[in-house]
Structure 1
Amino acid sequence: MTRTSLSAPAPARLRVAIVDDHQLLLDGLSARLAKSRSGIDVAVMTTSWRGLLASEAFPTDIVVLDLNLEDDIPIGVKIRAISAAGAKTIVISRHADTASIRGAIRAGAIAFVPKSESAAELLEAIRAAAVDRQRHSPVVQRALTDGASDVDPGLGRQEMRALVLYAAGRSIRQVAEDMETTQETVKSYIKRARRKYLAVGIDLGSKLLLRRHAVRQGWITPE
């Protein structure tokens, strides 16, 4: 009688996408995460949000997403799209302020890793995300604790988009063109968004105040 030896199946490797507009960072992270003993396959490596969506390898298990891709698409919209596709999002950013961190987590990111952290910290965040567990570095945990009183103004999707585009320096006419609507509609979106922010104690009544808030939130990058 022939005895057949049954070996245990190899553990499934995590499929990860990395989205960052700096190719050097992409190359470095990909090389670090793809080491054979990490248990990770970098299935997508792209410099743009559209590149991620267009990839045949997406959805992956986890998407490592740069907060500031400068494409005028709010981070919340991206995270919701990734979640709808069945993947988890880890946000990375060179901005580690309280507003940016809490905004990403509130939008649905399972973790936030500042770019000042090591690749080992990102690796641990990925492993934790794979088992539906949040892992926060001391820097992030401190920001979450310090920002516990942050409030959500409850903006609608179109209000949020109009506000972000306007904060980024576009004129009302340009925002209307981008959103394929009228200038009067855009003005209405921005007016309602400002009113909702004012109701929770945040004054965005001037372009300067709006831009400062946009930088703090990570919607746009400082010049």
Structure 2
Amino acid sequence: MAPTGIRLAIVDDHRMLLTALGEWIRAATTDIELVAAVSSWPDLLAHPQFPVDVVLLDLDLRDNLPISVKLRALGTVGVRTVVMSTYSEPAVVREALAAGALGYLVKSEQAENIVLAVHAAHSGETFVSARLIPQLEAGDDASRLSAQERRVMALYSSGDSAKRIATLLHISEETAKSHLKRIRRKYRLAGIDVGTKVALREEAIRSGLIGPDDRQRLERYES
């Protein structure tokens, strides 16, 4: 049987957008086969067509599972991922790309560019929405951190302990603590005080490492 094209899955918890994305892609190209359109991470993993070639993945599914964990899980089964989000902060984009995403799209992106991003990911190339590139090139405070340090900061700011971070990132607890020390030192050298967990969390929100919608959920982790 001849190949039917790129097998695509879309994951987004906004039903209307999920439907619209499917319609746009079907209308824009014939070489992408939409085989799954689901609203949650478990639904993707349980879908009979999974694993697929490429996944369009909503950054914030509100399931408390870090995007880095999802990207790592998809990568282990050979799935290439394009992240979609309303967040356009440079640190958010860098974190997704550093964690393994091959594309990053704002949700208002035109259908033609969504198709281009899927094609690029399938070929192992990176595609980022054009409007985000100037911000990425400008840099910010969080860009001084390594990819692993950004992961640690995002997880810690989301309430995970050093022990939990070590488990998620497959490192030792001491290594996780060392990353936190280096993060605070780098910010201190940049003239930014993140000595407390609350201050570090606020900086993570400002830099886009975690979303502002997490603010209330994180109150219970304040020290």
TM-score by length of 2: 0.75
Give the SS at the match of 1:92: strand
Distance 2:119 2:129 in 1: 14
Secondary structure in structure 2 of the residue aligned to 1:21: coil
CA distance in 1, matches of 2:174, 2:122: 42
Distance 1:134 1:201, change over 3 A: same
RMSD between aligned residues: 3.3
Q: Runs (4+) of structure 1 moved beyond 4 Å?
A: 159-162, 187-193
5+ residue gaps in structure 1?
1-8, 182-186
Q: Cα offset for 1:32?
A: 1.2
The structural deviation recorded for 1:192 is 5.5
For residue 16 of structure 1, what is the amino acid of its counterpart? L
Distance of 1:193 and 1:46 partners within structure 2: 36
SS at match of 2:148: coil
1:160-199 equivalence runs, <5 A: 163-166=156-159, 194-199=180-185
The residue that corresponds to 1:209 in the other structure is 199
Larger radius of gyration: 1
**Aligned residues of 1:110 and 1:134 also touching (Cα < 8 A):** yes
SS in 1 for 2:60: coil
What count of residue pairs does the alignment treat as equivalent? 201
Shift of 1:139: 1.8
2:88 to 80, 96, 103: 96
* Separation in structure 2 between the aligned mates of residue 205 and residue 32 of structure 1, nearest angstrom: 47
Deviates more, 1:197-206 or 1:136-145: 197-206
- Rounded to whole Å, the distance in 2 between the matches of 1:162 and 1:190 is 11
Identity of aligned residues (%): 32
More helix by share: 2
Q: Which residue of 1 aligns with 2:115?
A: 123
Does the alignment pair 1:14 with 2:6?
yes
Report the Cα distance in structure 2 between the residues aligned to 1:156 and 1:137, rounded to whole angstroms.
21
1:26 aligned to which of 18, 27, 37: 18
Instruction: Write the distance in 2 (CA, Å) between the matches of 1:221 and 1:57.
Output: 34
What is the correspondence of 1:42-61 to structure 2 with a 5 Å cutoff? 42-61=34-53
Q: What SS does the corresponding residue of 2:127 show, helix, strand or coil?
A: coil
**CA shift for structure 1 position 133:** 2.0
| Deviation string, structure 1 residues 4-58 (Cα, Å, up to 9, x no partner) | xxxxx85531111111111111010011112384311111211111111111211
Q: How does 1:136-147 map to 2 (within 5 A)?
A: 136-147=128-139
Task: Specify every segment of 5 or more residues in structure 2 that has no aligned partner in the other structure, as ranges.
Answer: 168-172, 216-223
**Residue in structure 1 matched with residue 170 of structure 2 by the alignment:** none
Distance in 1 separating the partners of 2:75 and 2:155 = 23
Aligned to 2:79: 87
Taking a change above 3 Å as real, the CA distance of residues 160 and 145 of structure 1, as seen in their structure-2 partners, is: closer
